[in-house]
C-alpha cells in the first residue's frame, strides 16, 4: 500500500525558512516523479512543483509563485522527498501535501499524503 507521510511543518516568522520532508513507502520510490501541492486555509489546491526521477536527471519544475523561493529535492536511498522553503511570506501559509506521480500513457498524481501545516506569522 502506498504511504506518504509529511513532516516538518510548524510556525515560522515571515522571512524565515523551513524544510519539509516526505517519507514514502509501499512502492519503488526511485521510479516515480514526486510533487508538492499546497492548500491555503479554506482555499483550493495549488501545485507547487515536481521532481523527476533519476532516469530523467532529477529535473525540477516549479509554479511561478514559488520559483526561486522553494526548492525540491529527493534522496532515493532514504525514500524521501524534501521541500526547502525560503523567504516565507504570510501567503505561504498552507497545508503542504506530498504526492506521487504515476505513468499510464501520461504522468499524473495518483496518491497523496495527509499533509503538514505551515503557518507563517509573526
Partner 1 sequence: SYELTQPPSVSVSPGQTARITCSGDALPKKYAYWYQQKSGQAPVLVIYEDNKRPSGIPERLSGSSSGTMATLTISGAQVEDEADYYCYSIDSSGNYWVFGGGTKLTVL
Binding site for partner 1 (CB under 8 A): 35, 37, 44-47, 50, 61, 63-64, 97, 104-106, 108-115
Q: Provide, rounded to whole angstroms, the least separation between the CB of residue 15 and partner 1.
A: 25
Instruction: Name which of 44 and 68 has its Cβ closer to partner 1.
Output: 44
Q: By C-beta, is 23 or 63 nearer to partner 1?
A: 63
Beta carbon of residue 48, minimum distance to partner 1 (angstroms, whole number): 9
C-alpha cell recorded at residue 13: 516568522
Compute CA 62 distance to the chain's CA centroid, rounded to the nearest angstrom: 10
Name which of 55 and 64 has its Cβ closer to partner 1. Answer: 64
Taking the complex as a whole, how short is the minimal distance between the CB of residue 106 and partner 1, in angstroms?
5
Shortest reach from residue 113's CB to partner 1, in Å: 7
User: At CB < 8 A and 24+ separation, what contacts does 87-90 make?
Assistant: 87/15, 87/17, 88/12, 88/13, 88/14, 88/15, 88/16, 88/17, 88/18, 88/118, 88/120, 89/14, 89/120, 90/14, 90/120, 90/121
Amino acid at each position: 500500500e502506498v504511504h506518504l507521510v509529511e513532516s516538518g511543518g510548524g510556525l515560522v516568522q515571515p522571512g524565515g525558512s523551513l524544510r519539509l520532508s516526505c517519507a514514502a513507502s509501499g512502492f519503488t520510490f526511485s521510479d516515480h516523479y514526486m510533487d508538492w501541492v499546497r492548500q491555503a486555509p479554506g482555499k483550493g489546491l495549488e501545485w507547487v512543483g515536481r521532481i523527476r526521477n533519476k532516469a530523467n536527471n532529477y529535473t525540477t519544475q516549479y509554479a511561478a509563485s514559488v520559483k526561486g523561493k522553494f526548492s525540491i529535492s529527493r534522496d532515493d536511498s532514504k525514500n524521501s522527498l524534501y521541500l526547502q522553503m525560503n523567504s516565507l511570506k504570510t501567503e505561504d501559509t498552507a497545508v503542504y501535501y506530498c504526492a506521487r506521480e504515476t505513468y499510464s500513457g501520461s504522468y499524473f498524481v495518483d496518491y497523496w499524503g495527509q499533509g503538514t501545516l505551515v503557518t507563517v506569522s509573526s
